[in-house]
Amino acid sequence: MRMTGAQIICESLIKEGVEHIFGFPGGSVLPFYDTLAKYDRLHHILVRHEQAAAHAADGYARITGKVGVCVATSGPGAVNLVTGIATAYLDSSPLVAITGQVARAFIGKDAFQEVDITGITLPITKHNYLLLSAADAARVVKEAFYIARTGRPGPVLIDVPRDVFTEEAEFKYPDTVNLPGYQPERRQALQGNPLQIEKAAKLIDEAQRPVILAGRGVIISRAFDELRQLAEKAQMPVITTLLGTSSFPESHVLSFGMVGMHGMAYANLAVDSCDLLINIGTRFDDRATGKVSAYAPKARVIHIDIDPAEIGKNVRVDVPIVGNVKDVLQSLNQQVAAQEHEDWVKQLDQWRREHPSLVIRESEGILPQFVVRKIYEGTQGNAVIVTGVGQHQMWAAQHFFYDKPNSLISSGGLGTMGFELPAALGVKVGVPDETVWAICGDGGIQMTIQELATIVQEKAAVKIAIINNGYLGMVRQWQQLFYKRRYVATPLTSPDFVKIADAYGFPGVRVTSKAQVAPTIKRAMEHPGPFLIDFVVEPEENVYPMVPPGASLAEVLELPKPSVKAAAPGDTSNL
């Protein structure tokens, strides 16, 4: 059957199980949109900015495990996707971005709205395509989805010249892909080397003070049961990275919270004192390790990761295992002996009592962590939390307790402000029956605040909590601690968020007292549609614990001393 390139792409998307597309039209991609009108099975969600299309598709992908799809036109439309593509790339989120391009005859001639988007996105995609023939469209879509979802997931971009959308070709969707240089699903790539797994089991059996460090790889591979089985069988404490949060139930007796710059003090001390560290699906990024030369100084290290490039890149590894986390853990669990590490677990419990990282101090005003705790209590933990980046992100990770698998969606590697609102939209589209809270900073939400219109248009019942402290909070915290309180460009003037919500046609409430917090959260939960709460919180509250830049995890700061004199950048001697 002969079809246009646009029809072939639509048919191919349906073959890949796509139901939702997040996008924004424009001249070069208009033939695709004209064709899209004939495909009721493809629900297009009109965002108000292309960056939001990528973030929404990313949020959808993270919560469902499916490939998210976003579409933009050429030039500025394509370039506006870049931040969202990079966010997905660094957090291993499967995405296919389709961009329009100028007609083939105009490529390379600086035509109106022409940009080399394949060149721009080369470092932030797993692969990208410039589709120069409609005859190749079905194959390219098939390959793009395969590359995006297999191995270490990530974004793939397909750039389509305008006249390729209208060119006709025979359509037959391929049954398989033929990529000789890319074979992530071969048995060895998934299951790991048996000899290395055997070595890992032996180290676990011999360890006296083992610790499991769980990352996003556990969530991507849906290895929740396997991780729990390993921890319980060998009685090993579990700590997580930021993006590994919600991979292991935090009410579990073996759960000791998040590690790293704003991780729990006792989790950081566990890394510093353990004799075996089992890294499962995390890349040892700098925010989780602190000073690398002082990281886990007493420990042998096992590293399980599907991407061989990550093993040994940042931290020395004694037993590397390349494979899919779920498959590797299934094999490892069969070989690990049942163990008890009662004294070690008691030591961590003692550190938890001595270093109460989650205590919320008394305050007349509203503390941000108090708000997060009340959202936890109001939802009873049965919610998906989506955050942006900054102080509110850390408080959300610390003070909401994640027993529900895959229930924290956040930007980790790129640290993208403005992620929260469009990503929450994508999450709600992916799991419409779940309660979804977007916990936002007053700075971050203003980067993508226009997506309130999309949320209303889609009737997406996202609950929005703005932690409004009048600052770019995390930057201000660093300025306070390391730059002599020079608050340059961090005091923030915001609009009346309640009026903004009203302008978009849904309820908003401003909360200025602690007594209002819980009842307003309850009201938001009872409202059938979107609901915004502007929490006016203490302006100079800081996130603790904190590992200062350049310090080891053992040098974690829990509370500031009563008097903190101004410090030069990088000088932490007075803290």
- Strand 68-72 and strand 238-240: pairing? unpaired
Residue 525 has pLDDT above 60, yes or no: yes
Architecture of domain 187-354: 3-Layer(aba) Sandwich (3.40)
- Percent of the chain whose predicted confidence (pLDDT) is above 70: 97
Indicate the fold that domain 2-170 takes in CATH: Rossmann fold (3.40.50)
Closest to 336 measured CA to CA, from 280, 257, 288:
280
pLDDT averaged over the chain? 96
- Quote the longest CA-to-CA distance of the chain: 77
- Percent of the chain whose predicted confidence (pLDDT) is above 90: 96
Quote the pLDDT of residue 571. 35
Quote the pLDDT of residue 560. 60
DSSP state of 397: H
- pLDDT (tens digit per residue) in 250-290: 999 999 999 999 999 999 999 999 999 999 999 999 999 99
Tokens found for residue 84: 């969202």
Residue 216 CA to residue 283 CA, distance in Å, equals 9
- Strand 168-170 and strand 2-4: pairing? antiparallel
pTM (2 d.p.): 0.96
Residue 539 CA to residue 541 CA, distance in Å, equals 6
CATH 3.40.50.1220 placement within the chain: 187-354
- pLDDT (tens digit per residue) in 219-258: 999 999 999 999 999 999 999 999 999 999 999 999 999 9
Query: What value does the mean pLDDT take over residues 134-146?
Result: 98
CATH 3.40.50.970 placement within the chain: 2-170, 368-543
Query: What value does the mean pLDDT take over residues 474-481?
Result: 97
Instruction: Select the more confidently predicted residue: 189 or 245.
Output: 245
Hey, what CATH class is 368-543 in?
alpha beta
